[in-house]
Structures are given as structure tokens and as C-alpha cells.
Amino acid sequence: MILVVGGAGYIGSRVVEVLVKKNEVVVLDNLSTGFENAVDPQTIFIKGDIGNEGDLEAVFSNYPIHAVMHFAANSLVGESVANPLKYYENNVSATLKLLKVMLKYSVKNFIFSSTAAIYGFPDVNMIHEESKVEPINPYGRSKLMVENILADFASAYDLRYVVLRYFNAAGASESGRIGEMHDPETHLIPIILQHLLGQREQISVFGDDYDTPDGTCIRDYIHVTDLAYAHAAALNSLLTGQNKTATYNLGNGLGYSVKEVIDTCEKVTGRKAKVVITDRRAGDPARLVASSEKIRVALGWKAERNLEQIVSSAWKWHKKTDE
Ligand code: UDP
């Protein structure tokens, strides 16, 4: 049985849709940012918090869990700067509680959601797993702290883990159940699509004076379905013994500028956006693009869906939720 904590969230719920095809799945989620209706009905859903040892005990003592996937985290950079306590508590201290109970029940397989934010302002074109890690905000630091904790736990307690460092997750599930929705929304693609649906007056482009071909920031957008298949492959690598510990980037290997993303959204939707250029957003690197060669070579995974597919799946979902 696989325990997915944060399985009601955007990425977690998409991973659950893939896992239930071959596994029994328990989802533990406090629904602080997730949605119960995003959870596949074939799972056992438990509303609870990994920061609460009682909730964890209830899961591990009742179900024969043999692997844990951990998506339960706060992930807004700006909020982490304003409220670091929340990030260290929910992302680090709660994760320690989860690991402690796992070890108590001898559950040794762990998949951890990490982030491109741990690379800070990278000085390379393509970011490799061995590139310098130097996060520049509490969110990125909270994720790096857990990565370091996992390495220590692997040496001391024989924990087996895979860390997956996501670049820009986007797009919606083909099932139509899961799409990207945050409150408040800060992410580029949902913001553009909300604007094109008439829910926002305009789109602000945060700076067009970066050192990139069109002056806007470049990111590596990856379809949430591609992310989900990477998790299934990572889990398999632990359960078959192929991996004891591993860290992989998950991206497309392709960078798109903010302007290119807006163009793609206009093309896919057939609608015209009203765009204003504003000041840069603090803490935005000019370019973040992953090399995902390591996981391709090790596990045979690569992103299969391009930006147009990301946007058209997201558009279908946003239109449906607007009805
Ligand atoms: N962005 C923008 N306007 C917005 C939201 C985002 O110009 O309303 C830019 C942002 O500066 C970044 C890119 O879009 O360069 C992706 O931002 P997002 O917040 O989606 O993801 P991040 O890269 O910060 O994780």
C-alpha cells in the first residue's frame, strides 16, 4: 500500500490517478490547499495532518504502508519570505514528524517533492542535479533542508529515497478532474487563462529587461501528467531495488519566455490578451531550465508533452471550472 501525503493537491492528486491503476493507495491530506473532489475515488482518503503525530499513527497503525510519497507542503515563494515560520514548520518540521513515524513502522521507501527553487540564481544554461544549490528564499531553503535530512537518514537509518526536483508544473489531467488552482493564484499559465476567460482585466509581465532574447524570463514548463509518470517510475526504482537514493530534475529541457507562453495561450484559445509590462518580481532568475538527462538515462523517463499540450489541457479545465 502506498501512502500519498498531500494527495488532494494539484500534483499529488494527479500522481494518485496514475498510482491507483496498479496500487492500493491511502491519501492523507489536511485540505488546507487541496480539494477532496480531486482525490481519485478508488483511494482511501483520510483528512489529517502530517504535523500531527496522532494523525500519522492512525494511518501507519491501520494500513500496511510500504512506501510514502510526500507532496504536502506550502510552495509560494513570496509567502515564504513574508512568513518563514509557516514554511519551516509545515515543510521541514512536519516532514520530520512524518519520517519519524515512518521509521517507527519500518517504512523505508520515500519519494520527496523538491523544487528548482533550490538552485537560486543558477549561473548555467542547463541546470544539472550537480549544479550549485543555493536557494534564495525560505521556500527553497525549506526544501533543501529536507533533502539534506534525507541524505542523513539514508546513512543512519537505511532510508531509501528519491528526490524529484520539479521545474514549472503546469497543465491539467486528461480526466478533467485535476487542474491548477491556487488561492491567491500567482502562476503564469492559470493567470493568463483566467484573463482570457474574462476573470482578470489584464496580464502583468514582470519585467522585459532580462538578459534573454525577448527580455522576459525563461522557465521550463512541465505537464503535470509527465510529472505523475516520473513519480511512478521513481517508486518502481525504489521497490525493485534499482535505486537506494537518487535525486532527479524533472523538466522538459526546453525553456519558454513569458511572452512565448502568452503567445501559445493566445494561439490555443484563439483569444487576444491584454498585456502590461510591470517591474520585475523580486527573486525571479532570468532563466531556469532543467537538464533531465539523469532520469532519462537511469529510469527511461522523459517529458512527452509540449507547451501547446500543457496549455490546451489547462484551457479545457479552466473553461469547465468557469461554467
Ligand atoms: N509571471 C509574470 N506574470 C504573472 C505571473 C508570473 O510575468 O502574473 C512570470 C514570472 O516572473 C516568471 C514566470 O512568469 O518569470 C513563471 O512564474 P510562475 O509564478 O508561474 O512560476 P515560478 O517560475 O515563479 O515558479
DSSP state string for 122-150:
--SSSB-TTSPP---SHHHHHHHHHHHHH
Is there a contact between 180 and 255 (Cβ–Cβ < 8 Å)? Answer: no
Site to probe by mutation for ligand 1, drawn from 185, 187, 218, 288 as the one with most ligand atoms within 8 Å of Cβ, is 187
In whole angstroms, give the CA distance from residue 169 to residue 258: 15
Residue 72: all three cell numbers together: 504536502
The residues that bridge with 250 in the sheet, in sequence order, are 166
What is the full per-residue pLDDT of the chain (323 aa) written as tens digits? 999 999 999 999 999 999 999 999 999 999 999 999 999 999 999 999 999 999 999 999 999 999 999 999 999 988 999 999 999 999 999 999 999 999 999 999 999 999 999 999 999 999 999 999 999 999 999 999 999 999 999 999 999 999 999 999 999 998 877 888 877 889 999 999 999 999 999 999 999 999 999 999 999 999 999 999 999 999 999 999 999 999 999 999 999 999 999 999 999 999 999 999 999 998 899 999 999 999 999 999 999 999 999 999 999 999 988 77
Active-site annotation holds for 87: no
Q: Which residue owns the Cα nearest ligand 1 atom 20?
A: 187
**Cα(218) to centroid(ligand 1), Å:** 9
pLDDT for the residue numbered 274: 98
pTM above 0.85, yes or no: yes
Instruction: Tell which phi-psi region holds residue 209, choosing left (phi > 0), alpha (psi between -120 and 50) or beta.
Output: alpha
Q: Which of 139, 166, 221, 248 is flagged as catalytic?
A: 139
C-beta 204 within 6 A of ligand 1? yes
pLDDT for the residue numbered 180: 85
pLDDT for the residue numbered 74: 94
pLDDT for the residue numbered 176: 78
Is the previous residue joined to 122 through a cis bond, with omega within 30 degrees of 0?
Answer: no
In whole angstroms, give the CA distance from residue 104 to residue 170: 36
**Cα(186) to centroid(ligand 1), Å:** 7
Q: How many helices (H) and strands (E) does the chain have?
A: 11, 14
Domains, the chain, ranges and CATH? Answer: 2-170+221-249 (3.40.50.720), 188-219+253-322 (3.90.25.10)
pLDDT for the residue numbered 125: 93
The residues that bridge with 287 in the sheet, in sequence order, are 218
Residues present in the chain in total: 323
Residues 258, 260, 264, 266, CA torsion sign: positive
The residues that bridge with 67 in the sheet, in sequence order, are 2
